[in-house]
A and B are shown apart, each in its own frame.
Chain A
Amino acid sequence: MKEPRTKSKHELLPGTLEMLILKTLSIESMHGYGIAQHLQLLSADVLTIEEGSLYPALQRMLVKGWVLAAWKMSANNRRARFYTLTTAGRKQLGVEESRFSQMFGAIMRVMKTT
């Protein structure tokens, strides 16, 4: 059977995935699948988060102490592992946001120059 190949190969800038996860978790705690869905939805399917990137990133953030993980019941009554932002994670989000906007602004300035 043929697999529908709809995946867009939009690659993220290095480091942005963690920022996006932090942002997502700053709204509410979420499980891995939920994070991926949330990002795909909000970006209107431009950003497809692959499991191979998502889970290692989550582990890295656990190691760094930016998030905590706990098993909880999900909305549709499934046991799932929910990630919650810590204070350190919230601080990190601020750092990443300002760094990103700086970078983004810089790139845009370059691109607008004619």
Chain B
Amino acid sequence: MGSLLRRLLFLFRRNRFDRDLEDELRVHEEMKAQALADADGLSGDEARAAARRRMGNPLRLREQSREPWTFARVETVAQDVRHALRLIRRDPTFTFAALATLALGIGLNTAIFSVADGVLWRPLPYPNPDRLVIVLSSQQTGTGVRTFATWSPVSYDGLRPRVTALADLAAYDPIDAPLTGRGEPLQLPALDVSPNFFATLGVSPALGRAFHTGAAAPDDDRSAIVSDRLWRTVLKGDPAIVGQSITVDGLPRTIVGVLPPDFSFRPVIRQGTLPEADVFLSNRWPGDTGRNAFLFLLGRMNPGVTEERAVAELTALVNDPSIAPPGALGMEGARASNVHTVARAVGLQEYGTESVRPLLVILLGAVSVVLLIACVNVANLQMARLTARRGELSVRMALGAGRRRIVRQLLTEAVVLSLVGASLGVLLAWIAIDVTLPLVPQSVLPRVGGIMIDARVMAFCVGLSLVSTLLVGLVPALRVSRAAFGEGAALHAGATRTTGDRQGERLRTLLVGAQIAMTLVLLIGAGLLIHSFVRLTSVSPGFEASGRDGVVQTVRVTLPPHLYNEPERMHAFARGVLDRIHYLPGVTSASVINSAPFGMMFIRDEFSIEGQPKPTLDAGRPKIDADYFTTMGIPLLAGREFTARDSAGALNVAIVSERIVRDYFPGGPREALGRRVRLGDHGEWLTVVGVVADIHQRGLDTEVQPMIYVPFQQERAQPFLLRFVSFVARTATPGSVVEGIRAEIRRVAPDLPIEGTVTMDEAVAASVAAPRFRTWLLVLFATTATLIATCGLYGLMAYAVTQRRREIGVRMALGATRRDVLRLVLRRALRIVVAGLVVGLAGAAGVTRVLQRFLFGVTPTDPIAFTIVTLLLMAVGLMAAWLPARRATRIDPCAALRAE
């Protein structure tokens, strides 16, 4: 302890210490000189000189004597950092190149990591989120495993009291609900939830209370809990809001609670995620004993219960027909009654991220490669600079700097570079996330709200900068400790060398080759995605979204069940609006469908054909009105379209798609006419009056589904299928037609909010938003990598030309032509590029398999992508070498030889 105190005191008496040491050593020198003079009879000056020589390096002696007093580590670190900063300022070109590369590499990684973390890994904001599961069910059918996400209220009521593995089982149903009576009518994202929903999540409102969960149901259908966002905006942050009434979906509701600001629950459905709900409505779905399955089930497992046990128990319950009636009809179709059903429990965290997980992992891999390339580049720059700094370093070594000290100095430089680069990178990531996140299609990224740059992401970023420090600093630093910088090589270095530091150059060549290999892998990945995207978008959807007589415009509404519960009212609404749309100026033809292609809705069901064994496939079952196929531009292959005469009282008819004819009517479309088909197990028989061409209903990359079109006006058995009404119109003036349709709807149903107005072109474009986004990202990363690697190659060649100036001068003096020189430099570059490409091709062939699931109509070893990309990179590489090569041809042999 005493020694620490003494050392601290020293800090204040440094000047006196220095004076003392100086005097002491001078006295020592004098005494030594005196002794030498006495012994060897030297003169005073000679003796002093001899004494000084024998005492060795005076600076080093003072340094070493001072060392015991100082906090050596801290001081040398501070010194190194100062030195590094000075160097960084002194060499702006290097600094800019290094920082830009590092910032790009670290920024991309930070951005992608923050996305992956927010979507995949960040724990959900509920207590014990790992116990929350979404309960699904699946059945093995002839066509594969079918998974059903939703349950009927009857099944939910059967399961909830009986399941013991779950502490709580809640149900929710995402709906759109109009809020009226508080200023402008608003269409709000809402959630119908069972009363125990918030208890299951483990969340309590910030104001008021959660729903009552007891057997008595005072809250049912009458209370609402609102989000913090809605409370702050529409409800103006009124502190006395609890107890007030709002009108949701046409019914008055009492607000019983306001959720905390950080509450977040993002309902996942098949097609992606829905926006977070603003209103939660308590519901027990009393009296809904039908087969319609629309409830998502959210369970909280009891502590200590494994997922397997919960699943086993649920499976047993699900197969008990008295608890969960079979044949529930969800979006995916009806659950077969005679097939064993398996319950499944997917963690709430994982649910809905299955498709994103591999993408994000691939993107993380891609950006790590970019970072690797960036680090290699900076390491290479450092090494080139190191050769230039040979003189400086050698002098420092001669003056007594130990090798370890030099290595530490170089690592400090790398640390400073990495940290500054990382700070810039975080800034870059922050901007990138801010700018691009709103552009990201929701179907690509669920849980976007979880994406942010926080302590976790910062920790990751710091980790990255450490890794990059090692990559950037270690290679050059290790080079120093090798032979090249011996004290002997010291001072006369620089003057006459012609070939430079051979070993260092070989290492740099290797690194540039590796960069090219890694770049090629990324580029090929991007190339595959581009080719796949071209293939995908050249698929015809089967309808004519735009043509000479205009585009197809859709306008979608959802009829609220409390106003439209009878099929007749729905028929009347659709027919009433449609009749007027025909007369709107600019409308060529118009119709109605309940599940437009490329929309959110697609309803499938089993079907059968009279006199044939039951097909194993399911068929889509859209409800359409007259002129639908004309409007959509879907070719009629046989028979006729529906007309206004195919109404409620008439013969039940159907139009089938080509796919059904191909599989079941070998005689062609005409054979199908007049035959009868049936939807579901108990539906009525429908007479086929027409056959139409196939369409892609759900996306260009999905298989063509069999379709059985039924007149909208004839659907009676399942009125809920008619609640979703899309008006479609072919028109040359979509803008004014949308306004016209809007006005017509308002005339018939004033309170009905319009949910979507898209053209079919837009719908198709939206369906490829995810692949387009992926392709863009990978292209962006690959381009960045190419840029960096090209700079690396250019730097290496430019440096080599400068180093070999003299040699080239000699060659030219001896008669080499400019062509020879050009060839000399280019051949060397080509050798590096080709070596890199060969390694890269092998690597790419190995790893592109991970892209398999994102490729459409293209194999992971697609020869077109491989060839084009390889040639492209080769061309880019040669261009990068061309500039230094041309500079080499301009070397004036006289000047080159004289200059040295």
Contacts and interface: CB of A to CB of B under 8 A. Distances in A.
Contact of B68 (A37, A56, A69, A79): A56
Nearest to A81: B24
B28 A33 contact: yes
B61 A33 contact: no
B31 A55 contact: no
A80 B66 contact: no
A20 to B, nearest CB: 18
A3 B54 CA distance: 9
B38 to A, nearest CB: 11
A52 B24 contact: no
B53 A63 contact: no
A65 B64 contact: no
Interface string A52-74: 10011011101111000101000
B67 interface: yes
A3 B24 contact: no
Interface stretch (B2-10, B425-433, B519-527, B790-798): B2-10
A3 B53 contact: yes
B65 interface: yes
B579 interface: no
Nearest to B46: A1
A51 B55 contact: yes
Nearest to A56: B64
B68 A65 contact: no
A69 B20 CA distance: 10
Interface of B: 2-3, 6-7, 20-21, 23-25, 27-28, 30-32, 35, 40, 46, 50, 53-56, 60-61, 64-69
Interface centre among B3, B6, B31, B64 (most CB of A within 10 A): B31
B28 A78 contact: no
A37 B34 CA distance: 13
Given A33-B32, A62-B68, A81-B24, 6 more contacts: A3-B54, A4-B40, A33-B27, A52-B60, A58-B65, A63-B69
A69 to B, nearest CB: 8
B137 to A, nearest CB: 76
Contact of A56 (B6, B46, B67): B67
A59 B24 CA distance: 12
B6 A63 contact: yes
B53 to A, nearest CB: 6
Contact of A33 (B20, B31, B64, B66): B31
Interface centre among A4, A50, A52 (most CB of B within 10 A): A52
B23 A60 contact: no
A86 B847 CA distance: 72
Contact of A78 (B3, B30, B55, B67): B30
A81 B67 contact: no
Contacts of A4: 40
A10 B7 CA distance: 32
Contact of A55 (B23, B25, B40, B53): B25
A14 B595 CA distance: 89
Interface centre among B3, B20, B60 (most CB of A within 10 A): B3
Contacts of A79: 23, 27
13 contacts: A33-B31, A33-B32, A55-B24, A55-B61, A63-B7, A63-B68, A63-B69, A65-B3, A69-B20, A78-B31, A79-B23, A81-B20, A81-B27
A31 interface: yes
Nearest to B35: A37
Contacts of B54: 3
Contacts of A69: 20
A74 to B, nearest CB: 8
Nearest to A65: B2
Given A3-B53, A52-B56, A65-B2, A31 B65 contact: no
Nearest to B32: A33
Nearest to B40: A4
A96 B4 CA distance: 22
A59 B31 contact: no
A3 B7 contact: no
